[in-house]
Each structure stands twice: as C-alpha cells, then as structure tokens.
Amino acid sequence: MKIQKYIKPLLFAIICLTVGFLSSWFTGEGVAATYLSLTRPIFAPPGWLFGPVWAILYAMMGVSFYLIWEKRNEFKINTASTLFFVQLFLNFFWSIIFFRWHNLSLAFYEILILLIILFFNFYYFKKISKTAAYLLIPYILWVFFATILTFSILNLN
C-alpha cells in the first residue's frame, strides 16, 4: 500500500477537524456546564458523547469533500463545493450561537437551515461521487437528531 494515497484525504479530514476545534475554541469554556444546566429531553445523549461523534463526523466530511475535489477535472464542482462550505460555516457557528450566546431560538433556526443545506449538499455530491455523498449520511442523521434535540431544549427552557 502506498501511504501517499492516504495523505490528501487525511489533510482534508484534518482541515474539517480544525474547523470543529476552532468552533469549540471560539465557543469558550463552560460548554459542559451550559449543557448540564439546561432542561434536556429524556433522549438527550450524555455530554461526553458529542466530542467523539463530532470528531468522526468531521473526518468523514473531510474525506467526502476530498472525493469531490478529486473529480474537479471531470465535473463542475462549484455548486457542490459552495454548499459544502456553507454547511461547514453554519456548523462552525451553531455551537457558538447555542453555547456562547445562549440563543436557543437562533440556534434552532440556524440548525434547521444547516439541515436543509445538507440535503442539497448530499444531492450535489451524489451527482459527482456516490461514495462522497454516502459519507455524509451519518452527518445528516446526526444533524437531524441535533435539530430535534435543539427544538426540544428550546421548548423545555
């Protein structure tokens, strides 16, 4: 096996992981305390689960985008790329809105827009690479769950 073929996907994964890390950093301290201080629905996962799940999802996002990037000479990837970066931007800001600004209403509307963008992102990725699109499915499912969780927390608080 050539290690070279794994370097680029790894770099794309690291870029997405860095976005997640920076979002966490800009969110500031007290995320766990804020989460625990909120009235949460019975289906709310424990706070410790979010970090590992997001790390896996960010890595998968990076590999997914790498697969699209590799097809840039065969396909027009402008729309797919734009949607990817819009969803990454929205993803970056959600935790800041929710945890740092404590704006549950805005966080709900923001994650709802993120979910819609993700469906479009999936659609355009699938036109270019089915594998890239399928790598987004766990992310879409997690954001769908997070949308329901955000809505529930908003209503309980």
- Report the pLDDT value the prediction gives residue 40, as an integer from 0 to 100: 97
Mean pLDDT is lowest, of 8-12, 86-90, 120-124, for: 8-12
Q: For residue 76, give Cα distances in angstroms to 72, 82, 90, 150.
A: 6, 11, 23, 35
Give Cα 80 to chain centroid, integer Å: 15
CA distance 120 to 19: 21
Annotated domain spans of the chain: 4-156
Q: Which CATH architecture has domain 4-156?
A: Up-down Bundle (1.20)
In this prediction the pTM is 0.93
